[in-house]
Amino acid sequence: MSTTRCMRMLAMTGVCSLVWNSVSFSHAQSYPGKTIRMIVPIAAGGGTDTMARLISQRLSEQLAVTILVDNRPGGGTVIGTELVSKAAPDGYTLMTVAPELVINPSLRKLPYDTIKDLTCITQLVSGQYFLSTHPAVPVKTTKQFIALAKARPGQVSFGSSGNGSANHLAGVLFQHMTGTKLIHVPYKGAGPASIALLSGEIDFMFSNVASAIPYVRQGKVRAIASSGANRSPVAPEVPTVNESGVPGFLVTGFFILLTPAGTPTEIIARLNSESVKALESAAVKERLAALGLEAVGSSSADCANFIQTEITKWTPIVKEAGAKPD
């Protein structure tokens, strides 16, 4: 190839790059110009759906555009997540998702790559679980509970919302870190599992703080510890598992805002700043507090690191549990 021809090709490449960057910048400057779709990969009514609608309403007001919540349940959130992973990377398809995002890579064969096919906008919030026991279980502290479990190996039962769910794996992690042998009883959802705990059908479970706190205050369930790094603001009298004799134990619930990989960085930055602004509003803070959730509003990069860390954390736990998709 001649030097002249080579220089022409390089010049054309530069022009194409300049044009593409100009188009991308122009698109980001006019964003958003139409309805945004918020995918929720579970059925309406659950915690993820509640969070998606809460953040969508606020973002809709701030961006002055309609945000349509679109529930796409099935496959343990895989169906909705695959839809997002293959959508156009233009900022008009978002998704709110919970811990299933980081558990699924080690639980199922996925039709997408969680890290490569999705871009994290921000971690919206974090939450905790209560180590909740039925009042008939003769313990009031984590140390007493561990002693009971060791005295009755293979007899103390815990429920979950299904194999491979966050509260199932929390129980497995607890078992692993305390040297106890527990019986896992999976249910088809957190609701049935909670009913089983209330009736005494199971001895304990790691219950979502927001759903458990009414029963705790009514004395129908005993919260002996919380799963976070710090005590839950809705129940500061309940110590953490970590400070109760199981150092290093940490299980947090969370909701993350995602979009397809390849979405222009300017749009990611805009959505991140608007999400953080939404989380800082008094109305949203009040609603989150009522749900036992804490606003995070991380950067896109920190959110991506969080996802990778959580996947790494849960992979061996899923393997130990021998968990299979329901």
CA count, 13 A, side-chain hemisphere, 124: 32
φ, ψ for residue 311, nearest 5 deg: -60, -45
Report pTM: 0.79
35-126+252-321 against 129-244: fold identical:
yes
User: CA angle at residue 291 from 321 to 244, to 5 degrees?
Assistant: 50
Residue 131 CA to residue 250 CA, distance in Å, equals: 12
In this predicted model, what pLDDT tens digit does every residue of 43-89 receive, in sequence order?
Answer: 887 788 889 999 999 999 999 999 999 999 888 889 999 999 999 99
**Which of 10-14, 124-128, 216-220, 310-314 bottoms out in mean pLDDT, i.e. has the lowest?**
10-14
Residue ranges covered by each domain of the chain:
35-126+252-321, 129-244
Residue 22 has what pLDDT?
47
Residue 224 CA to residue 165 CA, distance in Å, equals: 21
Residue 14 has what pLDDT?
55
Count of CB atoms within 10 A of residue 52's CB? 28
- DSSP bridge pairs for 159: 185, 205
Residue type, 220: K
Q: What is the CATH architecture assignment of 129-244?
A: 3-Layer(aba) Sandwich (3.40)
β-strand pairing of 204-208 with 129-133: antiparallel
CA count, 13 A, side-chain hemisphere, 267: 26
Name residues whose C-beta falls within 8 Å of residue 199's C-beta, 6 or more positions apart in sequence.
none
**Looking at the predicted structure, is the pLDDT value of residue 246 above 80?**
yes
Q: Which stretch of DSSP H or E encloses residue 223?
A: strand 222-226
**Looking at the predicted structure, is the pLDDT value of residue 20 above 50?**
no
> What would the mean pLDDT of 34-38 be, rounded to a whole number?
97
Name residues whose C-beta falls within 8 Å of residue 66's C-beta, 6 or more positions apart in sequence.
35, 36, 60
CA count, 13 A, side-chain hemisphere, 40: 21
Q: What is the CATH architecture assignment of 35-126+252-321?
A: 3-Layer(aba) Sandwich (3.40)
Residue 43 has what pLDDT?
81
